[in-house]
Amino acid sequence: MPDPNRFAGKAAIVTGAARGIGAATAARLAADGARVLLADLSPAVMATAAALGATGLTLDLNARGAGEALVQAALEAFGRLDILVNNAGIGGSKPLAESDDELIDRFIDTNLKSVLRVTRAAIPYLARPGGRVISVSSTFGIAGYPGTTAYAVAKAGVAQMTRQMAGELGPEGILVNAVAPGVIETAMTVGHLGSEYYRRAVLEPTPLRRAGQPEEVAAVIAFLASADAAYVSGQVIAVDGGWLAARHPPREAG
């Protein structure tokens, strides 16, 4: 359950916060007492932020200097930065043989390079000790899944960035972790969840036999941001209903 004193006095940035996991994470951090800056390419982020009594910022994280602009906005609003949640990203992708340069660039730029740039911009200002960087990877960044190459490679890069930065920032008291969601019921996945083939191929092999909810991912992110995770760093925690650990064979078609 949310604790309004958990992050009292602390400030957080959540990217990709207009909807889905990002919006749920911003709501959870706010409910736990943090002051939160929600950033997203979509102007809808302003309404999401207003509903939380938080601060919103419409921003293209692929633009040069966007990371610095984002961090500066947080510093101007809150005067400090304790928690950075790198959630912004896009889904989809194709087999590599069918992926043109534009598609590859789009996934690598949005899902990996923007995370590197935002994190780089935040590093000088994160609280020491006690700062947190939490990024959203994917189960597809851990285990191979055909037909998602550019997406999966970018998310695997986020997982490796997490391990690298845990080593670089740990001596300064900054913890760096990631979550790797499985099938989560969001606007990004609703089309897939309506597909019988997708449900048999991806959802039914999940031991819990259901899609996760954004709030379930947000709860793990809040844990990683909290004092309860004070000795956890460099980890990529799957929030996937057991999909990586023990996949069930799908039922026969028909």
The yes-or-no verdict on residue 94 having pLDDT over 80 is yes
Report the largest interatomic distance among the alpha carbons of the chain, rounded to a whole angstrom: 59
The yes-or-no verdict on residue 254 having pLDDT over 60 is no
Task: Report the alpha-carbon distance of residue 236 to residue 88 in Å, rounded.
Answer: 17
Average pLDDT over residues 245-253: 73
Note the pTM of the prediction, 2 decimals. 0.94
- Encode pLDDT of 99-135 as tens digits: 999 999 999 999 999 999 999 999 999 999 999 999 9
Confidence band for 252, pLDDT divided at 50, 70 and 90: low
In this structure, of 44-53, 141-150, 229-238, the range with the lowest mean pLDDT score is 141-150
Task: Report the alpha-carbon distance of residue 214 to residue 243 in Å, rounded.
Answer: 17
Contacts of 51 (CB under 8 A, 6+ apart): none
Positive or negative: CA dihedral 136, 132, 40, 11: positive
Confidence band for 222, pLDDT divided at 50, 70 and 90: very high
Confidence band for 188, pLDDT divided at 50, 70 and 90: confident
Asked if 151 is an active-site residue, the reply is yes
The yes-or-no verdict on residue 95 having pLDDT over 60 is yes
Query: What DSSP line would sit under 173-214, residue for residue?
Result: T-EEEEEEE-SB-STTTHHHHT-HHHIIIIITTSTT-S-B-H
Q: What is the pLDDT of residue 187?
A: 77
Q: What is the pLDDT of residue 180?
A: 98
- Of residues 43 and 193, more confidently modeled: 43
Q: What percent of the chain has pLDDT over 70?
A: 97
Contact 133, 122 (CB under 8 A): yes
Question: Of the listed 145, 151, 197, 231, which one is catalytic?
Answer: 151
Q: What is the pLDDT of residue 93?
A: 76
Contact 60, 109 (CB under 8 A): no
